[in-house]
Chains A and B, each alone.
Chain A
Amino acid sequence: MGCSESEGQLARTVVKLFLALKLQKNGLVHSSTLIAHPYRIDSLDWIVLLVPPGPLGSRWSAMLRSALPFVFQFPHRKPPPIRPRPPPVRRYASPPAAAGSVPPPLPPSSAYVHLPFCRKRCHYCDFPIVALGSSSPSPRGEAEDPRIADYVRLLLREVAATRAVSDDGVPLETIFFGGGTPSLVPPRLVAAVLDALRGKFGLSACPEVSIEMDPGTFDAAKLRELVGVGVNRVSLGVQAFQEDLLRACGRAHGLAEVREAVGIVTGCEGLQNWSMDLISSLPNQTEEMWEESLRCTIDARPTHVSVYDLQIEQGTKFGQMYTPGVYPLPNETDSANFYKMASKRLSEAGYKHYEISSYCRTGYECKHNLTYWQNRPFYAFGLGSASYINGVRFSRPRRMKEYADWVQKLEDGTWCHESITSEMKDMAMDSVMLSLRTAWGLDLHSFSKSYGKNLTLSLCSMFRPFVESGLVIAMDAERQALHPSEFELELDSENKGETGSRVAFIRLSDPDGFLLSNELISLAFGIISP
């Protein structure tokens, strides 16, 4: 071999970057698209931005960043909306006789990493977490809890024992550290995980690396350190801007910590992309409180906002204390109102409501979460985490002991992904369920190609009354909303093109359709799997 492997990769990257930039200059590809949505360039699938592993890679990213600042920083005035990568099923648009077969899976380019540690369990939480308790080390993490390092060791073993799906090195484009409270984990351990992932799968030129952080668990130095090891997106779990509500939720922090955390995040150099997480419909939450939380959020100017509607889960403290819809929880009308308020206020402040519970400034969609909504594969590592590889969804054990045993088996090679491939209708359901969560909606052409014209038409006629009532919006290929009467017309005329109509997309309206998404999606399920 004439050059080392990393040199070879480097050369490829350069060539591809040049090509991509040329395309961008010629107006073929928008620069923001190139960076924020590399998969936007459908026809140019082969352009994959590769960054060699190791320090060379980091250097390259840094170089690129300084060389092409506009690419990284300038959001464009009218960028195209988020468009999912073409579905993996394209090539097997085979006759319906082949129904039941599953598309050749794409290799994952996303990884979720679960860091389960929390100081204590919040009253609404039913995630697999490990509560460190009050005896745990200080939030700034000088003396770290040995359980964390032990766990990260286990995690690294899992990464090492995992086989990459593709051999020709499809690198990771997104990594998400979720929890738990990942910000409790010392940055060097986060770096260790990142290194392991990089070594195993490779990282793209500018991967999105998100981490969830809770107020009161980090200081400026810690955040800087995290950014230094590659983290470039923070999801700040604020949840509420009222002392009483924070306490009632069992949060381990107060309002002062919230303000401090917002200050640290906004003041951190090299970190442009951060999300504020809020919860609506908390017990005793009033309209005024919610208004206040929204205002404070907007004032903090995050690039992204996640608004979760409180869900009362069995087995949680809230589950024992409250019944959904019953005081002190808001009733259905009030809680619908909270949702609408968020949609209105955040939209007015320039945020796009791009998914049921997600808002962002233009170009700042959470790429990692888009992976889920676009039904694309992803790796997952750690306690209780769920992966989607080779068409198979798998959830790891939720208990530490069992998880450790499982990792052992993985290493011993005595565990393998069951090769039960999911059925066609399951895939269709996943596709509908996930895409209808997004503002982009369901792409009828590709759905039709994958699952047949008849099913697509049945779905459309099921949605027809809701198009009329405004819960569902039909759009043409240019994403222009169609008038309900046009939708009728299109559906009635059988002898039109592939899907029989100009209707190219279907999405749920904001906020009314989103608010009833469960109803609408389960109706669609009834069509797919009667």
Chain B
Amino acid sequence: MAGAAALRRAARRVIRPLVNASAPSRTLVQPERLLSSQASPEHRGRAIVSGSELGLYPPERIRNFSIIAHVDHGKSTLADRLLELTGTIQKGHGQPQYLDKLQVERERGITVKAQTATMFYRNTVETSESHGTDSPSYLLNLIDTPGHVDFSYEVSRSLAACQGALLVVDAAQGVQAQTIANFYLAFESNLSIIPVINKIDQPTADPDNVKAQLKRLFDIDPSEALLTSAKTGQGLSQVLPAVIDRIPCPPGSCDLPVRMLLLDSYYDEYKGVICHVAVVDGAMRKGDKISSAATGRTYEVFDVGIMHPELTPTGVLYTGQVGYVITGMRSTKEARIGDTLHQAKSIVEPLPGFKPVRHMVFSGVYPADGSDFDALSHAIEKLTCNDASVSVTKETSTALGMGFRCGFLGLLHMDVFHQRLEQEYGAQVISTIPTVPYIFEYGDESKVQVENPAALASNTAKRVTACWEPTVIATILIPSEYVGPVIMLCSERRGEQLEYTFIDAQRALLKYRIPLREIIVDFYNELKSITSGYATFDYEDSEYQKSDLVKMDILLNGQPVDAMATIIHNQKAQKVGRELVDKLKKFIERQMFEITIQAAIGSKIIARETLSAMRKNVLAKCYGGDITRKKKLLEKQKEGKKRMKRVGSVDIPQEAFHELLKVSNSK
């Protein structure tokens, strides 16, 4: 402790004079000269970046951009190359997709969380702004974003900190569903878009076709497209010059009191709450007092710096820069994403912020071992500190005990959440059948949003006059030969066709309005399997529509299992009820009595199965008095029982719950 304190004091002694000296004279200093005398362009790496260095980059020398694309088109790999090119990370050191830091991301090879990195770059290619050899150095903030539709919220949040985006398109696969979705996100945010046709090293690469698609879909001039291979490095040198050239610098004003957008926050065991911010106006220094526009609370800035690519203290952040700040915030709940942080005691106009996250899917999360509620509670609290896009409320189930109702952006998000709970916090969970938020309207005109089917009374005293379910607008891109089956699938899923066009000679674009419930579980898998994997799919939320919904109960020996209740379209109830009952029959083990498994709507049984009683489980005698082995066997059996969930007298294995997730959607 004493050592650490001494170190900090020493560090302050070094940094403070620099900060003090550089700050007031900031605009007077010639950036080029200072940079060349104090630090060579190769200074990055692990070295501490001083506040005075940051001072060398006024907004004109700053570019903030995101990399957006369809899943797997190479965003994170391209980010690697750019980080290497600028010396921010060393080539060949560290893992590929450097910015995918979570274990889930590494295992699944996908990006889940947007990540920011600051790079310093000296433009050596001639541009319209600078000429010749003595080109200025730039500070570039790169934000790598996820491609999967569930995480499009991360994309829109990232875009709010940017003035431009690299729209990456796989040269062989061409424009896909998320390319379109992300293009529109960027376009609507008025960002400058640089099309990057990547993976041109692939034998099936067809950049010209991609250019044509871009022209046709987005009216992008083919000459604007950069051709790259993030794998071989081909074409990469044009990327950053294009960023500098085509993306405007951040707009803010240096002279105003500090005002910044809170982009993201997470909790660090040692440092506390770390906020990612984009400084829009003014500058923020260590020791400053800042306030939250949302909560009105004031904090002292303990630490401030940039992600280069790891947290690198600078003591200051200037206008247009993106970095982190650590204050005395105790919980990420205080750090509301989209909030405006500003100089304390000043009155500022809050920044536009983001539209709030919309939770598409809800599911109960329960400790797999009933006694572990506290551990789970702790884990969820910690994890939601780092994933604010999950909503969490406590709930209780008779079958599963105490747990949480969680709202997710989609099923992948839910999956990732479970995986992170397990990997990062060691929490084993049982998750209930995911449901979408329905709205029920009663005779007295009251409306209730139902996120947990169990909360809806099976035999309602109040008469339900109308039910509403959320819908989405789905965009599906497919080779034209699959149009037939895909239209079939969509109509089976109660979809309503909105658009049917061709994006080029071979590929069609379909747009449907589909009830959210119909796509959350297995729609994409089904779509992929009927199109040999060629379909891509994206959706955005749309309005609620009236629907004929019923609550379906699952009963074991006549007793409803609240955690297995679902809300479902009347027409699909029979079929889904049958499937659920069959699945349960398969996964519930025989017990010492007969078990009836039923699916019911109100008092009407729509499916039924019987599981006959176990007949025999007995051990031969304890030979020679050696009871230890038999005892171990029985203890093992006891442990097995402990892992099951008991409803009434019926033990339900955890797999049964997991299996139900798979059928829960109507096919």
Interface residues of A (CB under 8 A from B): 112, 114, 127, 176, 178, 306, 308-309, 311, 332-333, 335-336, 339, 355-358, 369, 371-373, 378, 380, 385-388, 393, 395, 429-430, 433-434, 437, 465-466, 469, 471, 514-523, 525-526, 529-530
Contacts and interface: CB of A to CB of B under 8 A. Distances in A.
Contact of A518 (B593, B619, B642, B649): B619
Given A385-B624, A529-B638, A519 B619 contact: no
The 3 A-B pairs at the shortest CB distance, nearest first, are namely: A386-B626, A336-B615, A336-B616
B530 interface: no
Contacts of B614: 332, 516, 519
A522 B615 contact: no
Contacts of B642: 526, 530
A467 B32 CA distance: 90
Interface centre among B591, B638, B641 (most CB of A within 10 A): B638
Nearest to A377: B625
B615 A433 contact: no
B635 A355 contact: no
A371 B649 contact: no
A429 B632 CA distance: 11
Interface centre among B619, B628, B649 (most CB of A within 10 A): B619
A386 B592 contact: no
A516 B591 CA distance: 10
Given A433-B631, A518-B637, A395 B626 contact: yes
Contacts of A387: 625
Contacts of B592: 466, 469, 471, 516, 519-520
Nearest to B635: A525
A373 B625 CA distance: 9
Contacts of A369: 621
A315 to B, nearest CB: 13
A332 B624 CA distance: 27
A518 to B, nearest CB: 4
A372 B642 CA distance: 28
A71 to B, nearest CB: 28
B464 interface: no
A176 to B, nearest CB: 8
Interface string B605-632: 0000000001111111111111110110
19 contacts: A336-B616, A357-B621, A358-B621, A372-B627, A387-B625, A395-B628, A429-B631, A429-B635, A434-B622, A434-B627, A466-B592, A517-B618, A519-B614, A522-B637, A523-B641, A525-B638, A526-B642, A529-B635, A529-B638
Contacts of B621: 306, 308, 355-358, 369, 437
Nearest to A356: B618
A519 B617 contact: yes
B634 A521 contact: yes
A484 B617 CA distance: 24
Contacts of A516: 592, 614-618
Interface string B336-361: 00000000000000000000000000
Given A429-B635, A518-B634, 11 more contacts: A176-B624, A309-B620, A335-B616, A355-B621, A380-B624, A386-B624, A433-B630, A466-B592, A516-B616, A525-B634, A526-B641
Nearest to B648: A465
A514 B615 contact: no
B596 to A, nearest CB: 15
A519 B619 CA distance: 11
Contacts of A437: 621-622
Given A430-B631, A522-B635, A372 B615 contact: no
Contacts of A519: 591-592, 614, 617, 637
Interface size bracket, B side:
20 to 34
A420 B351 CA distance: 70
Contacts of A434: 622, 627
Contacts of B619: 309, 311, 356, 517-518
Contacts of B617: 515-519
A112 B625 contact: yes
Given A332-B616, A335-B616, A522 B634 contact: yes
Interface centre among B593, B615, B628, B637 (most CB of A within 10 A): B615
A178 B638 CA distance: 31
Nearest to B637: A522
A372 B626 CA distance: 9
B339 to A, nearest CB: 46
Nearest to A372: B625
A465 B649 contact: yes
B627 A433 contact: yes
B450 to A, nearest CB: 34
B452 to A, nearest CB: 29
Nearest to A513: B592
Contacts of B623: 127, 178
Contacts of A127: 623-624
A515 B624 contact: no
A112 B624 contact: yes
A388 B615 CA distance: 33
Contacts of B616: 332, 335-336, 339, 515-516
B1 to A, nearest CB: 41
